[in-house]
Amino acid sequence: MSEIVVALAGNPNSGKTTLFNALTGARQKVGNWPGVTVEKKEGELRTNGHLFRIVDLPGTYSLTPYSLEEVIARNFILEEKPHVILNVVDASNLERNLYLTVQLMELGRPMVIALNMIDVAKSRGIYVDAENLSRLLGVPVVPTVGTKGLGMEDLIGVLIEVAEGRRESRPVHLYYGREIEEALSELVDLLEELHLLPAYPRRWLALKLLEGDREVLSRVQREEGAEPLLSRVREISSRLRQIFDESPEALIVEARYGFISGAVREAVRISAISRKTFSERLDDILTHRLLGFPIFIGVMYLLFYLTFKLGAYPVAWLEDLLKFTEESLRGLLPPGLLREVLVEGVLGGVGGVLVYLPNILFLFLGISLFEDTGYLARAAFIMDRVMHSLGLHGKAFIPLLMGFGCNVPAIMATRTMENPRERLLTILINPLMSCSARFPVYILFAGTFFRGHETQVVFGLYALGIIMAAVVARFFGRILVKEEDLPFVLELPPYRLPTLRGLFFHVWDRTRIYLRKMGGVILVASVLLWAFSAFPRTGGRPPELSRSYIGKAGRVLEPVLAPLGFDWRMSVALVTGFVAKEVVVSSLGVLYKAGEQTTQTLEQALQASGLSPAAALAFMVFVLLYVPCVGTLIAIWKETGSLKYPLINVAYQLILAWVMAFLVYRLGLLWLG
Amino acid sequence: MGFRWRWRRGRGCRRREEGICPRMENLTTLDELRTGEEGLIVKVLGNGAFRQRLLEMGFLPGTRIRVIRYAPLEDPVEYELKGYHVALRHEEAAKVLVEKCPKSS
């Protein structure tokens, strides 16, 4: 059985993912493109004696070298030479979608176009003549409706025919106008003469050289004897500039759109429907000047409610189940190391991953709903002004908001952001959003030392986190590899009714990543951390927390933290907080109450310890800002595909926490005494 | 065909009776258009990736563009062109020269 490699390409919002799911079903592999943070999806399709390997290329509007996704997409086609390119095109937005198509046509591979969403197009009075379009482009065109699975058999049949050479797919050569065509043929001849980059289509290379494509230029420069070609390119470019008073790359874009509007005129019939579409009327309300914000806040509240309130019920069931398992294990196993490893290490670790699964499922469901309906783009539209003042994209809002719940799914939610640089920035500042695990620490300290002013203190802490996020975002925004100044271009696609199938795939995809990728590592990390708190053994029994390795680490750190007003017990508690922030409270409980009267509450013990309010405030600030928990660090690692970024997070957050806590402590001593 | 097409400007603003296009008094930048107003794109200023991306999204000379709405906080602004909707920030829209079409109704 021969394998047919298909590269799936298309614009964002063209229904590419839906079509991919319709073709491959559950047989998918999700990973990253080598060395980058861009997600790579591959799927398999077996059908009457043929095995398809379908590679889902990143959704892009074009194939310039300015964005990572576009470079990945075109390099895959040029270097891996898939048997067929399957280009998904939104029939209801044909003109702009065809811009990518004409560029794909230049890559010299056989191509098939899936004319998708013909149902939507029809409802808007747009009729596309597939045969005519096919004739104009020189490429088979198959009408499809991905959401309903219509046209899939036809599509598969055509893909097989094209892959086996039984059906022609010979993309037409665009005519770029006399001057450019002359330049192109001269460059093609030169390329041939000099034997440069013979593996690439020559006309494409010539076009890219004229466009001044920096990736292709640098590749040509590395070849030997390329200088005559490059100097000729420079001459031609400046001549074209003189003739047209316009850059060659702009001329090329215009020529492409010229060709496209010609094709659209011939292949598309629009029966004028002048009334507003349903989507437009919906937008009149959802992005209304006055109503837009209240609705948005309501929707966000609903998402939170769904995630944390409704999610709390199944979480409680899972907790019960876990407790039951724990008790049965205690009953079944004799006391000793094995029981401790299983109960405190493994169950504790699994619990950490599994117990919050319902929250995470609800959250992913909510976000998938936003994505699939198109509301996510509206949320970005509404919030962009606010986010822009932080140097971020409007789409960063939802991941940051989710960070107040838990940073792990929040970091995974950054997958909705297309620009890798902005996504990275959003990931790096996400841990500064005060997650719910830090709340118990605030309750304890604010309740003990700032009775009556808890609200202000806790509110101040959340605000401090947001302000720090803004500062850090600006700082990292400057030093992160700056992509060339790409404009903010946010497409607002029409609203769509989500399909159950689509939602299921979306939620399943993310949950799978959460369980498989994060789950395993979090489990290992939890067991390791447990071991640090359970060793060295004293007489075969676990040591007191202060004598364990983790406790010793805390004591070693004490001199570093002393300028902030923290004693050794607080240092130890902070180290244990690395597992999960809420552990700080239970550690403090163990440390402060050890040897004291058992009737004393932790609040009373803390008050009796002689801790100053200034130090208490500094401690809360430190907990807010210092290292993310293990789970978050693993999420950062997996989502960025590099260990560099979690390390950056640890480093900058420690420094930030120390400096801020120091300032708060010293100023607090002055004002609070 | 080809870039000849770009000289056929003005086909969108046919309702305008008087004069040659673009008339300088109607020349403005995209961020100056109010909700519901329409214009014809004359030129995208700026350069490099910024300009290339806008051109590729269809911001070409002669293209008709309409302001759908301002975001609740004024920025960004939603536009319609070539049959789709897209939002730009003011600072970006300010780099797009347009010829404002007279109000049709």
Would A397 be classed as within a structural domain? Answer: no
Contact B2 A175 (CB under 8 A): yes
Chain B residues with CB under 8 Å of A391 CB are none
Provide the token pair at A400. Answer: 């940051």
On whether residue A671 sits in a domain, the answer given is yes
Q: What is the pLDDT of residue B35?
A: 93
How high is the pLDDT of residue A172? 92
A253 vs A250: CA distance, rounded Å: 5
Is pLDDT of B17 > 50?
A: no
Counting Cα atoms < 13 Å in the Cβ hemisphere of A173 gives 11
A38 in any annotated domain: yes
Whether residue A50 lies inside any domain: the answer is yes
pLDDT at residue A349, rounded to an integer: 67
In which residue ranges of chain A is pLDDT below 70? Answer: 1, 32, 34-37, 272-275, 348-349, 352-353, 481-486, 517-519, 521-522, 539-540, 545, 593-600, 673
Q: The domain spanning residue A184 has which CATH number?
A: 1.10.287.1770
Measure CB to CB from residue A257 to each of B58, B84, B85 and give the nearest one. Answer: B58
Whether A263 and A215 map to the same domain: the answer is yes
Tokens standing for residue A408? 């792990």
Token output for A229:
């070609």
Nearest to B71 among A94, A381, A486 (CB): A381
Say whether A116 counts as a known binding-site residue: yes
Estimate to the nearest angstrom the gap between the alpha carbon of A78 and the chain centroid.
26
Quote the CA–CA distance of A177 and A175 in Å, as a whole number: 6
CA torsion A201-A207-A210-A211 (nearest 10°) is -120
Which residues in chain B have their CB less than 8 angstroms from residue A127's CB?
Answer: none
Show Cβ contacts of residue A60 under 8 Å, excluding neighbours closer than 6 positions.
Answer: A9, A11, A12, A67, A69, A70, A73, A100
Among A270, A293, A311, the domain-final residue is A270
Quote the minimal CA–CA distance from B25 to chain A in Å: 23
Residue A408 to chain B, least CA–CA distance (Å): 30
Any domain includes A74 = yes
Q: Which residue of A has its CA nearest to B52?
A: A250
Same-domain check for residues A137 and A187: no
Nearest-Cα distance to chain A for B18, in Å, is: 27
Same domain, A182 and A132: no
Is residue A57 a known part of a binding site? yes
Both A210 and A239 in one domain: the answer is yes
Same domain for A7 and A68: yes
Quote the crossing angle between the two packed helices A178-194 and A248-267, to the nearest 10°. 120
* A98 and A224 fall within a common domain: no
What pLDDT score does A239 carry? 95
Q: Please report residues of A whose CB lies closer than 8 A to that of B80.
A: none
The answer to whether position A606 is within a domain reads yes
Cβ contact, residue pair A96, B85, below 8 Å: no
Q: What is the chain B residue with the closest CA to A245?
A: B43
Of A96, A177, A384, the CB nearest to B84: A96
Please report residues of A whose CB lies closer than 8 A to that of B92. Answer: 487-489
ipTM over 0.85: no
**Through-space distance between the first and last CA atoms of chain A, rounded to whole angstroms:** 80
Of A92, A251, A280, the CB nearest to B3: A251
**Same structural domain for residues A77 and A116?**
yes
Query: Does A259 share its domain with A112?
Result: no
Whether A89 is in a domain gets the answer yes
Place of tokens 């010539």: A206
Contact A489, A422 (CB under 8 A): no
Give the B-side interface with A, CB within 8 Å: 1-6, 47-58, 60-61, 68-76, 78, 82-89, 92
A24 annotated as belonging to a binding site for a ligand:
yes
Same domain, A216 and A89: no
Distance CA A379, CA A292 (A): 9
Which residue is closest to A121 within chain B, CA to CA? B83
Q: How far is CA A558 from the centre of its chain?
A: 38
Whether residues A572 and A623 fall in one domain: yes
pLDDT at B15 (0 to 100): 44
Q: What pLDDT, on the 0 to 100 scale, is given for residue A352?
A: 61
Identify all chain A residues contacting B79, using CB atoms and an 8 Å cutoff: none
- For A82: left if phi > 0, alpha if psi spans -120 to 50, otherwise beta; the answer is beta
Q: What distance in Å separates residue A96's CA from the closest CA in chain B? A: 7
Shortest Cα–Cα distance, B14 to chain A (Å): 18
Q: Determine the distance in angstroms separating the CA of A669 from the nearest CA of chain B, rounded to an integer.
A: 41
Burial A630-643 (b: 16+ CB within 10 A, else e): bbbbbbbbbbbbbe
> Are A597 and A622 members of one domain?
yes
Full residue range of the structural domain in which residue A656 is found:
428-472+558-673
Domains and CATH numbers, chain B: 2-100 (2.30.30.90)
Helix axes A454-479, A644-672, angle to 10 degrees: 140
pLDDT tens-digit series, residues A219-271 = 999 988 889 999 999 999 999 999 999 999 999 999 999 999 999 999 999 88
Domain end: A140, A163, A186, which one? Answer: A163
**pLDDT tens digits along B53-104:** 999 999 999 999 999 999 999 889 999 999 899 999 999 999 999 999 886 5
The predicted structure's pLDDT at residue B64? 94
Instruction: Indicate yes or no: CB of A385 within 8 angstroms of CB of B76.
Output: yes
Q: Is residue A503 in some structural domain?
A: no
Q: Tell me how far apart the alpha carbons of residues A370 and A364 are, in angstroms, rounded to a whole number.
A: 10
- List the single best residue of A273, A279, A381 to mutate versus B (max B Cβ within 10 A): A381
Which of A118, A137, A163 terminates a domain? The answer is A163
Residues of chain A contacting residue B50, judged by C-beta atoms under 8 Å apart: 484-487
Number of structural domains found in chain A: 3
Asked whether the beta carbons of residue B76 and residue A490 sit closer than 8 angstroms, the reply is yes
- Please confirm whether the linkage preceding A536 is cis (ω < 30° from 0): yes
Residues A17 and A156 in one domain: yes
**Interchain pair B56, A488: CB under 8 A:** no
**B77 to chain A: nearest residue by CA?**
A381
Q: Do A492 and B54 lie within an 8 Å CB cutoff?
A: no
Asked if the Cβ–Cβ distance from A244 to B54 is below 8 Å, we say no
CB pairs A-B closer than 8 Å: 143
The pLDDT value given to residue A4: 93
User: Inter-chain contact B75–A384, Cβ cutoff 8 Å?
Assistant: yes
What span, in angstroms and rounded, lies between the C-alpha atoms of A343 and A349? 9
Query: Tokens 């809002």 — which residue?
Result: A397
Phi, psi of A228 (to 5 degrees): -55, -40
